[in-house]
Amino acid sequence: LDRKWDGVSARAVGEVAQTSVLEEQRRSVLGEPLTEEEVNELVERYRHSDCSRQINLGRSGVTHNMIDDIHNHWKRTEAVRIKCLGVPTLDMNNVCFHLEDKTGGSIIYRNINILLIYRGRNYDPENRPIIPLMLWKPLVPIYPRLVKNIAEGLTFEETKAIRNKGINSPPLMKLSRNGVYINVVHRVREAFKSVEVVRLDCAHVGSSDCKKIGVKLRDLVPCVPVLFKDEQIILWRGQSPQEQNV
């Protein structure tokens, strides 16, 4: 709790255990891989919506407090159901990676936005890792400007024309607040095969999440966000290699 915040993260001071040592500890806790019958039994027990061992993963993603909640559940049960909502669902592979990396558990079930994370055969609640809780909201990092006045490779007039074209085009999708956005990346990629500009209607998402979605899509599609206005996201597919060589 006394770590110094540098604007992006609060790094641990002192020696940090080597990655190989941590990986060896994780393997020893997980033990032998579960058999298919054991996996099916756990899935049938915890995958349903009325499961009492559920944690919601929302817009903040994988947090200290969430990891602590998972370990608290693991005291009394072998697996925990994770329901993912909001911006993190754009990249479920990333969510799964960080859950396994930060908790030491293993994802044994994944269906759309529902995950089951298993604690391991040799998990000992008495030797669980000590996780510093976030007792305050950290300062918002200073990010570089997301949308440039002039898109790279275009003139000001061309950039303005693309923005106007996007604003006047029908929305590809309408996103809801804390929704499930798993298919958004695929839909945008498919749309870019036939059009160069795509508009996403985020009228009920909120401006903060709207920009987070834009950043994620920029890296995952990839594409170029050219405008955020009235909770609308305008995405440009960018120049093709042939256009760049002209």
Let me know: does 101 contact 129? Beta carbons within 8 Å.
no
Q: Is 84 exposed, middle or buried (0-12, 13-18, 19+ CB in 10 A)?
A: buried
Mean pLDDT of the chain: 86
Task: For residue range 51-90, list pLDDT tens digits in order.
Answer: 888 999 988 888 888 999 999 999 999 999 999 999 999 9
Task: For residue range 95-113, list pLDDT tens digits in order.
Answer: 999 999 889 899 999 999 9
Q: Where are the domains of the chain?
A: 19-127, 156-245
- Quickly list DSSP for 197-242: EEEEE-TTT-HHHHHHHHHHHHHHTT-EEEEEETTEEEEE----HH
Residue bearing tokens 């990891």: 67
Task: For residue range 185-238, list pLDDT tens digits in order.
Answer: 999 999 999 999 999 999 888 888 888 899 999 999 999 999 998 889 999 998
Round to whole Å and give the CA distance between 111 and 49. 12
Over residues 127-150, mean pLDDT: 75
Give me the torsion for CA of 24, 94, 103, 118, rounded to 10°: -90
Give this prediction's pTM.
0.81
Protein fold of 19-127: Translation Initiation Factor IF3 (3.30.110)
Give CATH for domain 156-245: 3.30.110.60
Task: Fill in the amino acid letter for 11.
Answer: R
Quote the DSSP letter at residue 7: S
Q: Is 142 exposed, middle or buried (0-12, 13-18, 19+ CB in 10 A)?
A: exposed
Round to whole Å and give the CA distance between 38 and 124. 19
SS3 content of the chain, % helix, strand, coil (to 5): 40, 15, 45
b/e string for 198-210 if b means 16 or more Cβ within 10 A? Answer: bbbbbeebeeebb
Q: How confident is the model at residue 10 (pLDDT cuts 50, 70, 90)?
A: low
Over residues 177-192, mean pLDDT: 93
Task: Fill in the amino acid letter for 42.
Answer: L
Regarding beta strands 79-84 and 173-174, do their DSSP bridges make them parallel or antiparallel, or are they unpaired?
A: unpaired
**pLDDT value, residue 15:** 47
Q: How confident is the model at residue 173 (pLDDT cuts 50, 70, 90)?
A: very high
Express as a percent the part of the chain with pLDDT over 90: 48
